[in-house]
Amino acid sequence: MKKEYDFSQGKRGAVVPVPAGKTRVTIPLDKDLLQWFRSQVHEMGGGNYQTLINAALREYIRQREESLEETLRRVIREEMQTHA
C-alpha cells in the first residue's frame, strides 16, 4: 500500500456506467423481499436480482393496465400453449 495516492485526476460517480435508458436509484427494500429476489436468481442458475425486480415491476404495471377481458384472453392463450 502506498503512503500517498494522487486523486487529482479522479472523477466522482459510479465506477460502472449506467446503460442507456436506465437510471440509477437507491431505494430501501425489506430484507425478506430482497432475499426472495436473490434466491429466485440463484434457483434460475444465476443472473441479476435487480433485473428480476425490474421485470416484476413491469409485469405489475402491465397487469394493472390490462382489462379483465385481456387478462382472461392472455391466460387462456398461455394455458392452451402449455397443453398443446
pLDDT for the residue numbered 13 = 76
Mean pLDDT value of segment 18-40 = 94
pLDDT for the residue numbered 1 = 87
Confidence category of residue 34, pLDDT binned at 50, 70, 90: very high
pLDDT for the residue numbered 12 = 81
The per-residue DSSP string of 8-73 comes to: TT---S-SSPPPTT---------HHHHHHHHHHHHHTTS--HHHHHHHHHHHHHHHHHS-HHHHHH
pLDDT in tens, 43-78: 999 999 999 999 999 999 988 888 889 889 999 999
| pLDDT value at 14 more than 80 | no
